[in-house]
Structure 1
Amino acid sequence: MSHTIAETSTIVPRQGRTRTGVKESVGKRDLSEAFVIDCLSLCDAEQIVTAEWPRAHAFYTPTPQAHSPLLFTESVRQALAVSCHTAHGIPMDHRLGWEYLRSDVDADALRITQRPTTVRLRVVHSAIKRRRLGSVHLVAHVEGTAGGAYVGSAEVHYSAHPGVIYDRLRGSRADSRTVFPRFSAPTPAVSPERVGRGSVRDVVLSPTDEADRWQIRVDTSHSVLYDHPHDHIPGMVLLEAASQAAQASLDVPATPVGFDTTFDRYVEFDAACVLTTAPLGPDLHGRPRVRIDAHQRERRVFGTVVTLAPAGTR
């Protein structure tokens, strides 16, 4: 299981083009962080979701030259939230969580332009399994283009649980309003330059006494990563931690452009989550790859293989 991506809101129409309510469907309290602006249902299985990337973003634009690849991933997350509610009738109060994510992004598509970038996301659900008590398991394939050029693609396996099922899964941790305020000040940060960031505030790793081990750094005051109270560490934070750990493991600047990730368990706030890195052989394009495993209370909670594009390459 993995992170929650849905918030209670008004359900928008199931068929045809939808605009009203689209931003409210993406699971963000701050609607300026909702990148999805439109959804067109072509049929039950296929939607075209339009996202608009700002020219610069406080978190997802870590350098003046390019956006983070996770801006694409966050756009996919939002697109699936809209798609499953509008096209598949999943109620807005269901809790969505990712179980598997494979994604890749063209580094050239992340370059800053003079205007906001409009990204067209083609969303196709290849499997939808509805359970007797209301839970739904889905498999989606997403391809993004901008101006006709390829931006990135993703395959996502995710679930949607009604509140009563989610509360049963989470037990005493289910109520984010009581869980979220308990957390202490963030632990020390890795040097921002080492993980491709310009500010300590955006660092989600803390150092350990071993070179290939890091601890996830939690700062619940970060308004982008923690837009609203959570009962566990969100999946986008986990991916950002993996991204930063992969960059820290290399000796040269590089952009993490590919993730192959399995979310095994919820990652809790009340225990250290430790990431270990190990180099793998390069991919078919000669790009370096890093294996990252995360453990909490001696159990693996997620694992990923990150592919990086060294500076100056695609």
Structure 2
Amino acid sequence: MDIQQEGARAIIPSLPYLVELTQRLALGLGHLSTKERQVHCDYFWAQQQTDGGFCGRTTASDLYYTSFALRGLVILGDEYSERAQHAAVYLRDRSQSQASVIDLISLVFASRLLESWTGLSVFEDNSRWPGQVVANLEQLRRADGGYAKSKEGHASSTYQTFLISLTYQLLEIPQPDFQRAVEFVLSQQRDDGGFVEIGVMRRSGTNPTAAAVGVLKILDPLRIEQIRLSVTHYLLGNQTDEGGLRANTQIPIADLLSTYTGLQTLHDIGSADQIDTADVLSYVQSLQQPEGGFFAANWDAIADVEYSFYGVALLGLLIGKRTNEKTG
């Protein structure tokens, strides 16, 4: 199958954050050779199962990994095909069954992405489904304005609050009392400049910091300027000698998740020019596999869909920046 030279088709225009992110990654990946993009597309498609879903490190289809696979294929510029229709069948089937909160969120992500890519509507026969999703999400809201990871959870989660803010955008439904979510996120910042996942934590992490900035970018972007310098300082301090970013200061090695979320956040706050991107690119390329896909970190031995998306997305950020510098 050939892939489109120009990269991914834009995600639905009513979602500025996701439009910006998808276009940024797709434009960068457009500078890769067709062969290099194709090998990663082939890797993602190889993870599709007979029911149309995509698997992780097991052979069972999973909504979480299906969402990552579709995101990877879109930013790589893969063409619409019958295999995408097969994925739509899987998503429709799953929308009719009970699902965990993370599966619900993954289902919304994957369905809206597939709709923007192919025009296939997963929810056209179930107009009540978005409202049902919102009802489930609001059961997770806590008194501080954030959202917990489960109905039983007492503490609000920075990352869960980010995912739910994105979900409201994807559903094109205004987030209720969104300013309380903003205030919750701001309360999660610590003296080192980063943000924590749960309020009782003292040590910041790369990924909750990225999630916090994501919430602000979606709900109150004017607030980003007040945290830009402190977040930049924190994230730069998490770049390791390997070139990638680590999850927090207590972990000695980098990983692709932290590297991607950290670098994306530096882009989001206008500080991407302050990190040594040559070292980051070298790290990412060291985890790239000749048959497609990426390892999660130097300790890994098997590529999977989630980390392969992070690897491909990082190439989009890094190759695009390098190309712009050469032509600027």
Q: Does TM, normalized by the shorter one, top 0.5?
A: no
Question: Hey, which of these two has a bigger chunk of helix by percent?
Answer: 2
TM-score (norm 2): 0.28
Greater fraction strand: 1
TM-score by length of 1: 0.29
